[in-house]
């Protein structure tokens, strides 16, 4: 398989993986609310024992699962990203700009995994059981960290799209020549000895 096609496929998988984890985390939070709203009679009895803490406990479980999914996905991206960079560095003839873009993408993930996500998770855990207007300063900080987290996710998605577009629309190193059509038409020129027998 051509290195450029493989790279586009890998970047597409990377983008799809990020979208899947984002979708999974949003569904997870909805499941907690749906379990309470659509609980069977037996489940209602069990939830009644927990009292008013039941919704908070279910949301806490969903939030912890989401945090785990993001940590696992970010770790997988780092391993996968460095392997992909090495493969493109040693297994293809791509430009330094493209290789730099792939390395930048991996470094953004490393920054997210070790700087952004730990702060975001720690602040979220402080607010898991906070009610109403409690901890207004923490809620503001959490909102800022959440915006930062999603901004990093957006940067990763944008980088993936730019790198993929660069590979798809760049002719340099792709094996295609800008004047390949002209070379094909040269067969019809008189000095090429067209055979008419």
pLDDT digits (tens, 9 = 90+) for 174-183: 444 444 445 5
Cα separations (Å) of 48 from 53, 54, 55, 56?
Answer: 9, 8, 11, 13
Residue matched to tokens 């990093």:
152
- Residue 135: which pLDDT band, with cuts at 50, 70 and 90? confident
Query: Is the pLDDT score of 45 beyond 90?
Result: no
Encode 152-181: b = buried (16+ Cβ within 10 Å), e = exposed: bbeebeebbeebbeebeeeeeeeeeeeeee
Helix (H) or strand (E) run with residue 65 in it:
helix 54-91
CB-CB neighbours of 88 under 10 Å? 20
Flag the least confident range among 12-21, 58-67, 131-140. Answer: 131-140
For 138, the token pair is 């923490």
Mean pLDDT of 10-33: 92
Whether the CB-CB separation of 159 and 7 falls below 8 Å is answered with: no
Domains in the chain: boundaries: 3-171
pLDDT value for 190: 59
Angle at 96 between CA 91 and CA 100, to 5 degrees: 95
Query: Is the pLDDT score of 185 beyond 70?
Result: no
75-104: per-residue pLDDT in tens?
Answer: 999 999 999 999 999 988 888 999 999 999
For 169, the token pair is 């629309």
Q: Structure pTM?
A: 0.79
pLDDT value for 33: 81
């Amino acid at each position: 398989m051509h290195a450029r096609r493989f790279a586009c496929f890998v970047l597409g998988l990377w983008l799809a993986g990020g979208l899947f984890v984002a979708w999974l985390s949003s569904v997870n939070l909805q499941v907690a609310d749906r379990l309470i709203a659509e609980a069977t009679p037996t489940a209602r009895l069990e939830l009644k024992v927990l009292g008013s803490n039941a919704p908070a406990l279910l949301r806490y479980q969903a939030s912890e699962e989401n945090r785990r999914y993001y940590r696992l996905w970010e770790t997988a991206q780092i391993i996968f990203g460095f392997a992909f960079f090495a493969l493109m560095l040693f297994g293809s003839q791509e430009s330094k700009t493209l290789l730099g873009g792939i390395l930048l993408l991996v470094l953004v993930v490393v920054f997210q995994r070790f700087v952004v996500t730990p702060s975001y998770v720690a602040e979220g855990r402080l607010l898991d059981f906070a009610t109403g207007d409690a901890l207004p300063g923490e809620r503001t900080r959490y909102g800022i960290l959440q915006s930062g987290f999603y901004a990093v996710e957006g940067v990763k998605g944008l980088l993936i799209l730019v790198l993929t577009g660069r590979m798809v629309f760049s002719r340099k190193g792709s094996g295609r020549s800008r004047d390949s059509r002209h070379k094909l038409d040269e067969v019809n020129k008189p000095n090429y000895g067209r055979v008419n027998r």
